[in-house]
Amino acid sequence: MGSFSPRLPLLLLLFSFFTLLVEVVTASEFKICAYNLERFDSAKASKPRVLHTVKRIVSRCDICLLQNVVDSGAIKRLLASLNRYDKYSYRSVSSESLGKSPADMQRYVFIYRMENVNVTGQHQYQKENAFVRQPFAVQFQSKKTAIKTFILVPLHSDPSQAVQEIDRLYDVFEEVSKKWNNTNVMFLGDFHASCAYMTRVNKKNIRLFNSSGFYWLIKDKVDTTVSSDTNCAFDRIVVHGIPFLRSIRPFSANVFNYVKGFKLPRSEAQKVSNNLPVEVNLKSSALLLQATPLLFLISVSAIARSFLSAL
């Protein structure tokens, strides 16, 4: 018979502890996403496979910004599907239709989990001729996050005016931060901030790059497109201020490649959109963060007792 190793309980308890720690951290994460759905209308939402894929993407997020939403009927279908099958209750807040022509009117829509976050304010930027689709700022409040109140500002830029519109987000920042007395601002969306639309040379003319306090979380070399023929970081997330930056889970800003994640054929994924969602996780509230060291001490104490008793 083999001899009993006193190290076995130690290893089992260590494994249990790290499993518990991972579960605590994962459960406490708060995910914010942005996704350009490429003319999401009622006809597109009526396609079962498309709607199912969109539902799976949105249901990963506590707040999901949808861009290029053509009509409210598509959102009603999506919300009905989410609320029918998901453990959370979802609600939306939407801008008015925005665009330069009747054939190209779009909405910004935020879909959020009612259990984890609520809307405390909304503001439509109104300056004429600054944007083709003026940003629609929404202030959110959550007890789940380390930073309690924050503002999300979307932009789906016009490709021909991408550099100018990204630069003018600085003006939007000044307006909304003053309105709500809150500098915890995140910009997100399909900026067209890459390839031919925004080059390295263009950056010197963009205040979000040149002004201190703005942090670009999705980097230039990331590919946010589905197509194998492109490699461009069109979709971005930018945050303002050290407090907001510190509230973000390190290395959590990423592209969600649902082609690989859902094991979809590329042709099937492109029926949904040629853009990939971008996402970032906020750290949990102070209460949950304080619980982690306590779990560590309890686990270490149990491991020590087990080890000593096995000697």
Locate the DSSP E strands across the chain: 30-40, 63-69, 90-94, 107-113, 118-124, 136-141, 149-154, 185-190, 214-216, 235-240, 254-255, 278-282
Write down the pLDDT at residue 17.
46
Write down the pLDDT at residue 29.
83
**Residue pLDDT, tens place only, 15-69:** 444 444 444 444 468 999 999 999 999 999 999 999 999 999 999 999 999 999 9
For the chain, give every domain's residue range. Answer: 30-283
Average pLDDT on 3-12 reads: 49
Asked if the model's pLDDT at residue 146 lies above 90, the reply is yes
Residue 236, CB half-sphere, CA atoms under 13 Å: how many? 28
Write down the pLDDT at residue 309.
56
CATH architecture assigned to 30-283: 4-Layer Sandwich (3.60)
Asked if the model's pLDDT at residue 308 lies above 60, the reply is no
Query: What six digits make up the tokens of 259?
Result: 């082609």
**Residue pLDDT, tens place only, 197-252:** 999 999 999 999 999 999 999 999 999 999 999 999 999 999 999 999 999 999 99
Query: What six digits make up the tokens of 271?
Result: 């029926």
Write down the pLDDT at residue 19.
44
The structure tokens 């491991």 sit at 303
Average pLDDT on 94-123 reads: 96
Distance CA 186, CA 173 (A): 9
State what percent of residues in the chain have pLDDT above 70: 83
Write down the pLDDT at residue 288.
43
**What is the identity of the amino acid at 215?**
Y
Distance CA 117, CA 37 (A): 23
- At 180, the pLDDT band (50, 70, 90 cuts) reads very high
Average pLDDT on 174-188 reads: 98
The structure tokens 């239709």 sit at 97
- Angstrom CA distances, 8 to 5, 13, 310, 311, stand at 6, 9, 9, 12
Largest interatomic CA distance in the chain = 83
**83-88-93-94 Cα dihedral, nearest 10 degrees:** -50
Q: Nearest-CA neighbor of 186 among 199, 169, 171?
A: 169
Distance CA 87, CA 214 (A): 35
3-state SS class at 274: coil
Identify the residue with better confidence: 289 or 56. Answer: 56
Distance CA 100, CA 33 (A): 26
Sheet holding 254-255, edge to edge: 90-94, 107-113, 63-69, 30-40, 278-282, 254-255
How many residues are given for the chain?
Answer: 311
Average pLDDT on 276-284 reads: 97
Buried b (16+ CB within 10 A) or exposed e, 199-238: eeebbeebebbeeeebbbbbeeebbbbbeeeeebbbbbbb
- At 310, the pLDDT band (50, 70, 90 cuts) reads low
Mean pLDDT of the chain: 88
Average pLDDT on 165-191 reads: 98
Query: What six digits make up the tokens of 181?
Result: 């007395």
109, 95 contact by CB (below 8 A): yes
Identify the residue with better confidence: 8 or 69. Answer: 69
Average pLDDT on 145-164 reads: 97
Average pLDDT on 92-107 reads: 95
- pTM of the predicted model, to two decimals? 0.85
Write down the pLDDT at residue 7.
53
